[in-house]
């Protein structure tokens, strides 16, 4: 008897009136799917993880997480905001231990695993270690960082930090923040102040419940002169009892769409005094006499942004891994409608339309991981180029900077379009599970609500897409002026050639044809935006106005360039993968390419790269590839290697025993009661009401006497 079989029987044992009909047994159905898998799932997992050692490390960490009582998540979907916050802080405490004893990469992996089922935790923990502590590290002088380390900034000994940047009135436009930091030369202090309601610090994660200190972004003012936005460490609470420091007002932002584990708060400062040296002075310095020294060169601060975006691309893939696993496993065992009356009903996964709904999302999940991996490598090689070029001839430095610029544009586009794609994927997967997708216990609702913030924070997606479009116009102009472009945008150097490119009689599955098609489409989109931009400038608009007037074209350019990056990145991965893996992933890569083309058919037709008949062929090919991928889909999600604990959705359980597992979860989460608590007060009076009869007071008889 197989292990899943035994497990099912064990669960069924608890149920009365349950017969399992072998013809409709979901465990058998899942086994049938696994038997279809024609490749070594384990090998694919190693490939995705970047090697067997990495997989084994992940599994070790997963085990330690699953066994940890503070990490339990079988009650997760029923917790109130208050409970989630406390639970999150327990996990915080737990992880703080590992951070001090494990290598950084291991802790990071551990954190990313926990965040699969609890992204709010990732943020709450990240607020201290990622935002607060990194800001300290990046902004402090040597003496300053020693001071803060001594005070417990890394060890959490007596201090937890938060990152007070955003205000009620300003998010994207950081330079316009209103909070002031006024130098008082007499006392050698800064006075931190919130001058208006809109200057209230807002959305500050950790502020409501956790933080003792913040890094505060404020306008530096000396002798009435503004010197721009700088960062200051401001103590918020006394660690002994969490009472507020004088002049600090903090409130709780309360309920959010999701991520209730984060205690976002608002902060108002009323003339709060801090020592001058609490201003982080690695770059801009303020002397005892109030003399400001700006750094000789504005820093190249792209680095942190790009690694942040890379993480979000990989996170988009991670989220989609969990979602597609649930939806595809459910589709592999759920049956509805029989093809022939009286026959066993058809599995959802066998419907062409259902394949159409899920297989492209599975392909996209892989595409996003490969794009994230590629971005990560590009970033590292660019950093190496920069390091090597230091002090060397200017051509090498120029090229490195050109690469960094491209990385900046590309990562902006990828962050935007991948977080959008994965947010959409969550709800598409939810919808594909019909009614059961709406149960909280199957995880989709929480996943969507938690992921929703990804598209507006860390750079609002629309703004990032427009920046990426602006950067593409820049590269196009560089090419026109004869400059050498970075690899990723090199195609913009051959716009003329690409304009007349056509798939023609060539095979639509040919990688060269696919690549050229995306380049042709992107080149056309970028050129359209660039030409419109020039036209507006010639008509007398300023640069900024001209960019504004080409918003929609810039957005489209970024959209098609980014999709092209994802498609061709998948093809690159296929070409570089070992033969065995390539064979497995080829249909998936082609599906992603065909589906992406179909979704943008208007652009390809406008570019004249494919003709109308070819667009029909591409649609048919997409259908065929969906079917091909469907046959391996169970293995393709198994390769993500997420245990049932991390899936945390009964209809997505590994062994296919969806009905008993789901029923069991629902029963355990909702112990039966007789009448609801409001029965006596609300229902009973309703049921026993006597409808007031139309008994009117009788009119007095006027004739009476």
- Residue numbers in the known binding site for FAD are 166, 205
Q: Identify the helix (H) or strand (E) that includes residue 119.
A: helix 119-126
Q: Of the two residues 234 and 286, which places its CB atom closer to a copy of itself in the complex?
A: 234
Task: Please state, in angstroms and rounded to a whole number, the distance separating the CA atoms of residues 323 and 443.
Answer: 9
673 contact partners, CB below 8 Å, separation of at least 6:
none
Which CB sits closer to a copy of itself, 38 or 257? 257
Distance of CA 492 to the CA centre of its chain: 29
Is 615 a binding residue for a copy of itself by CB under 8 A? The answer is yes
The H or E element that residue 227 is part of is: strand 225-235
Q: Which of 195, 275, 504, 578 binds a copy of itself (CB under 8 A)?
A: 195
Q: Which of residues 271-330 bind a copy of itself (CB under 8 A)?
A: none
Residue ranges in 554-593 that form contacts with a copy of itself under rule CB under 8 A:
555
User: Is 496 part of the annotated catalytic residue set?
Assistant: no
- Nearer Cβ to a copy of itself, position 200 or 317? 200
Q: Which C-beta is closer to a copy of itself: that of 109 or that of 333?
A: 333
For a copy of itself, which is the closer residue by CB, 481 or 688?
688
Look up tokens 């009135």; give the residue. 169
- Stretch touching a copy of itself by CB under 8 A, among 129-137, 488-496, 508-516, 603-611: 603-611
Residues 509-528 that bind a copy of itself (CB under 8 A): 528
Answer for the pair 313, 372: CB distance below 8 angstroms, yes or no.
Answer: yes
Which residue's CB is nearer to a copy of itself, number 338 or number 392?
338
Helix (H) or strand (E) holding 214: strand 213-222
By CB under 8 A, the residues from 107 to 126 that bind a copy of itself are: none
CB of 520 to a copy of itself, least distance (A): 13
Q: Shortest distance, CB of residue 421 to a copy of itself, whole angstroms?
A: 14
Q: How far apart are CA 240 and CA 231, in angstroms?
A: 26
Write out the binding residues for a copy of itself, residues 214-273 only, by CB under 8 A.
239, 241-244, 250-258, 263, 266, 268, 270
Q: Which of 298, 297, 314, 307 is nearest to 383 (CA)?
A: 307
Select from 2, 64, 105, 157 the one that contacts a copy of itself (CB under 8 A).
157
Report the C-alpha gap between 198 and 46 in whole angstroms: 50
Q: Is 336 in the site for a copy of itself (CB under 8 A)?
A: yes
Binding-site residue set: 166, 205
Q: Are 247 and 112 in contact (CB under 8 A)?
A: no
What is the three-class DSSP state of 91?
A: helix
Instruction: Restricting to residues 197-216, name those near a copy of itself by CB under 8 A.
Output: 197-198, 200, 202-203, 208-210, 212
CB of 269 to a copy of itself, least distance (A): 9
Residues 165, 217: Cα–Cα separation, whole Å = 5
Shortest reach from residue 157's CB to a copy of itself, in Å: 7
From CA 152, how far away is CA 144, in angstroms rounded? 13
Return the residues of window 405-464 that contact a copy of itself according to CB under 8 A: 423, 427, 430-431, 434-435, 437-441, 444-445, 448-449, 452-453, 455-457, 460-462
DSSP class of residue 346? P
Least Å distance, CB 427 to a copy of itself, is 7
The number of C-alpha atoms within 13 Å of 612 and in the hemisphere containing its C-beta is: 0
Say whether residue 691 binds a copy of itself (CB under 8 A): yes
Q: How far is CA 423 from CA 410, 445, 503, 653, in A?
A: 20, 11, 33, 22
Query: What positions carry a catalytic annotation?
Result: 458
């Amino acid at each position: 008897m197989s292990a899943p079989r035994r497990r099912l029987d064990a669960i069924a044992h608890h149920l009365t009136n349950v017969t399992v009909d072998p013809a409709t047994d979901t465990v058998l159905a899942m086994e049938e799917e696994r038997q279809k898998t024609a490749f070594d799932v384990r090998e694919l997992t190693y490939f995705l993880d970047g090697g067997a050692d990495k997989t084994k490390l992940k599994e070790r960490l997963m085990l330690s997480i699953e066994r940890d009582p503070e990490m339990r998540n079988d009650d997760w979907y029923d917790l109130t905001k208050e409970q989630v916050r406390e639970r999150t802080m327990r996990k915080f405490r737990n992880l703080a231990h590992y951070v001090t004893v494990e290598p950084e990469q291991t802790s990071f992996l551990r954190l990313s695993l926990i965040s699969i089922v609890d992204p709010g935790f990732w943020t709450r923990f990240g607020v201290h270690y990622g935002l607060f502590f990194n800001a300290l590290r990046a902004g402090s002088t040597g003496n300053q960082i020693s001071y803060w380390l001594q005070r417990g900034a890394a060890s959490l000994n007596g201090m937890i930090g938060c990152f007070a940047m955003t205000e009620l009135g300003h998010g994207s436009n950081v330079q316009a923040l209103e909070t002031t930091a006024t130098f008082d030369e007499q006392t050698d202090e800064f006075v931190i102040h919130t001058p208006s309601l809109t200057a209230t610090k807002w959305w500050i994660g950790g502020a409501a419940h956790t933080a003792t200190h913040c890094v505060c972004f404020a306008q530096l003012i000396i002798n009435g002169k503004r010197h721009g936005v700088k960062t200051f460490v401001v103590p918020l609470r006394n660690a002994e009892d969490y009472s507020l420091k004088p002049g600090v007002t903090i409130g709780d932002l309360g309920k959010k769409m999701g991520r209730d584990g984060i205690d976002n708060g608002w902060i108002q400062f009323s003339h709060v005094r801090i020592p001058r040296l609490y201003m982080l002075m690695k770059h801009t310095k303020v002397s005892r006499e109030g003399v400001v020294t700006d750094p000789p060169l504005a820093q190249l601060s792209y680095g942190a942004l790009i690694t942040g975006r890379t993480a979000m691309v990989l996170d988009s893939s991670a989220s989609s891994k969990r979602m597609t696993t649930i939806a595809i496993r459910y589709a592999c065992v759920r049956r509805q409608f029989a093809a022939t009356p009286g026959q066993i009903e058809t599995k959802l996964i066998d419907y062409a339309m259902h394949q159409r709904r899920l297989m492209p999302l599975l392909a996209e999940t892989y595409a996003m991981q490969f794009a994230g991996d590629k971005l990560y490598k590009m970033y590292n090689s660019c950093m190496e180029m920069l390091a090597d070029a230091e002090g060397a001839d200017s051509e090498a430095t120029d090229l490195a900077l050109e690469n960094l610029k491209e990385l900046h544009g590309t990562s902006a586009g990828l962050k935007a379009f991948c977080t959008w794609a994965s947010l959409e994927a969550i709800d598409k997967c939810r919808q594909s599970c019909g009614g059961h997708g709406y149960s909280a216990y199957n995880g989709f609702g929480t996943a969507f609500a938690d992921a929703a913030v990804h598209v507006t924070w860390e750079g609002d997606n629309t703004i990032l897409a427009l920046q990426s479009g602006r950067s593409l116009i820049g590269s196009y102009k560089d090419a026109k002026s004869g400059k050498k472009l970075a690899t990723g945008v090199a195609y913009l150097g051959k716009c003329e050639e690409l304009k007349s490119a056509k798939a023609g009689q060539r095979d639509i599955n040919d990688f060269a044809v696919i690549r050229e098609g995306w380049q042709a489409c992107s080149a056309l989109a970028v050129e359209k935006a660039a030409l419109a931009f020039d036209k507006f400038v010639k008509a007398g608009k300023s640069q900024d106005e001209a960019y504004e007037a080409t918003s929609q074209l810039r957005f489209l350019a970024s959209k098609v360039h980014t999709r092209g990056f994802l498609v061709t990145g998948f093809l690159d991965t296929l070409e570089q993968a070992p033969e065995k893996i390539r064979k497995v992933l080829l249909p998936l890569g082609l599906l992603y390419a065909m589906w992406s083309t179909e979704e943008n058919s208007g652009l390809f037709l406008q570019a004249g790269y494919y003709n109308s008949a070819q667009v029909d062929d591409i649609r048919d090919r997409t259908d065929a590839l969906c079917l091909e991928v469907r046959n391996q889909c169970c293995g393709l999600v198994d390769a993500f290697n997420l245990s049932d604990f991390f899936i945390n959705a009964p209809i997505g359980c590994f062994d296919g025993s969806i009905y008993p597992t789901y029923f069991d979860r629902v029963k355990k989460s909702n112990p039966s009661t007789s009448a609801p608590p409001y029965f006596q007060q609300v229902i009973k009076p309703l049921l026993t009401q006597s409808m007031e009869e139309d008994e009117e007071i009788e009119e007095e008889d006027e004739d009476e006497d």
